Amino acid sequence: MNEYDSNRILELTKKINFFSTSDVNEADCYVLNTCHIREKATEKVYHHIGRIKKKFKDKKKPIVIIAGCVAQAEGEVLLKKEKYIDAVIGPQSYHEINNIILEKNKAKNLKVNKTEFDVIRKFDELNLIKNRENKVSSFLTIQEGCDKFCKFCVVPYTRGPEHSRSFSEVINEADQLIENGTKEIILLGQNVNAYNYKGKKISDLIYELNKKTKLERIRYTTSHPNDFSDDLVEAHRDCKKLMPILHLPIQSGSSYILKKMNRNHTREEYFKILDKLLKVNSSMKFSSDFIIAYPGETQDDFEKTISLIKKVKFINSYSYIYSERPGTPAAKLKKINEDVAKERLVKFQIIANEIKKNYRQGLVNSFVKVLFENKSKDKNSYFGRDEYFNSVMVKSSSNLCGLIKNVKVKDWTHNTLYGELNDASKPKEFAA
């Protein structure tokens, strides 16, 4: 979502003749867009500011703006602690950036804190600006905020309550992206499947996008188990452009820990969702997020998480030791011994990586359909993703950008599949 927001910020600033530059040394304004999900986010801000100070030691100082969730959560602290920062803008106040830049150009000593939860006005402003992004695969925010209040999570406090954009706004922006050459749209939201605008759900958006002739693929992230309704399951049956991969965070395999986290679902209810999806589409694969050593987690709770990943066989598992976020209820809880936490994380990741290794090894000599997004630094190599969002690299003397090709997998690493074009199959091609 930060990538989507950053692109829209760039579109906004063009209205006052500020444009992106790849050379930081010539920047008149430096914007750092931040995430606050995990620890050390604030320290990273200060680290980046230190680098900028060095670059501009003997030059005119740029306007320095900290945007995003760190700005929302700790904006006043940032302004007081680091005098080099000129402004902080929360994720629901991006539409104010032009005014801030213009004000700063008039009053050099001005410090600005914009952290209101004005999401409606934000999207009203963004709707006035055409999305000119021309990537093969593009993000599209449909929903922001969270009302779930998991005890470990800072998102409700930094992104605010759940808000769904209007159905027509989303489709209009999707049309702009498709017109620009986008072949794949990834629908975004903190709880993307909580999307609900006057009775229209995310499934309605997917069905509508599925009709778009020039659009080839649809994805969405990130989902919450509590909002996974049957109409969304049916979309995975009916919509051929909807990719057969679901990222569905569970965080723990223990129903006891899920209750302590305030997740409001059980291990068994999570399994039911996956079973429903597999019944309508047997080719479905899954990925998930896990918090290891959450306060109160016993060895038995941890082993239940291990048994869950062994049963589901997630093709990607993203795991972290619990880190408290200031202001969340879980921050007051007693943490598990650090050595025990590290030991559990290592065990989890060994098993998760073995599952992933077996999955990738099984792909060797099989064929995958790859949508190619760009040329790599190696001029003869192209990067794309298969239906399961696996990164794929192939060598080709022809321009593959924007094309869907059948690729035979020849080798793999933890992060990338390597293959060769299966020209004999004559896969369908689409003009970039």
CB atoms closer than 10 angstroms to residue 168: 11
Residue range 350-374, pLDDT digits in tens: 999 999 999 999 999 999 999 999 9
pLDDT of 335 reads 96
Task: Answer yes or no: is 299 within a domain.
Answer: yes
Residue 131 sits in a domain of what CATH number? 3.80.30.20
Task: Answer yes or no: is 185 within a domain.
Answer: yes
- C-alpha to C-alpha distance for 219 and 185, rounded to whole angstroms: 6
Domain boundary among 117, 140, 155: 117
98 and 141 inside one domain:
no
Closest CA to 248 of 226, 266, 218, 268: 226
Name residue, tokens 């004999």. 424
Range of the domain at 396: 364-425
329 and 252 inside one domain:
yes
27 and 102 inside one domain:
yes
pLDDT exceeds cutoff 60 at 428:
no
What does 367-417 look like in DSSP terms, one character per residue? Answer: EEEEEEEEE-SSTTEEEEE-TT--EEEEE-SS--TT-EEEEEEEEE-SSEE
Task: Answer yes or no: is 346 within a domain.
Answer: yes
Task: Answer yes or no: is 39 within a domain.
Answer: yes
Task: Answer yes or no: is 193 within a domain.
Answer: yes
Residue range 163-201, pLDDT digits in tens: 999 999 999 999 999 999 999 999 999 999 999 999 999
- C-alpha to C-alpha distance for 97 and 86, rounded to whole angstroms: 12
Task: Answer yes or no: is 305 within a domain.
Answer: yes
Task: Work out the mean pLDDT of the chain and round it to a whole number.
Answer: 93
Q: What is the mean pLDDT of residues 214-243?
A: 98
Strands 391-395 and 381-385: antiparallel
Task: Answer yes or no: is 343 within a domain.
Answer: yes
pLDDT of 431 reads 39
Task: Answer yes or no: is 232 within a domain.
Answer: yes
Residue 395 sits in a domain of what CATH number? 2.40.50.140
Domain boundary among 101, 117, 133: 117
**Which backbone phi and psi does 230 adopt, to 5 degrees?**
-65, -30
The per-residue b/e assignment along 33-59, b for 16 or more CB within 10 angstroms, e otherwise, is: bbebeeeebbeebeeebeebeeebeee
354 and 393 inside one domain:
no
Residue range 393-422, pLDDT digits in tens: 999 999 999 999 999 999 999 999 999 998
321 and 181 inside one domain:
yes
What residues form DSSP beta bridges with 375? Answer: 382
Instruction: Label residue 126 left, alpha or beta by phi (over 0 means left) and psi (-120 to 50 means alpha).
Output: alpha
Domain boundary among 98, 117, 136: 117
The per-residue b/e assignment along 360-383, b for 16 or more CB within 10 angstroms, e otherwise, is: beebeeebbbbbbbeeeeeeeebb
Q: What total number of domains does the chain contain?
A: 3
347 and 384 inside one domain:
no
322 and 214 inside one domain:
yes
419 and 358 inside one domain:
no
277 and 255 inside one domain:
yes
197 and 346 inside one domain:
yes
- In sequence order, the 6+-apart residues with CB closer than 8 A to the CB of 273 are 225, 228, 233, 248
What residues form DSSP beta bridges with 286? Answer: 246
pLDDT exceeds cutoff 80 at 100:
yes
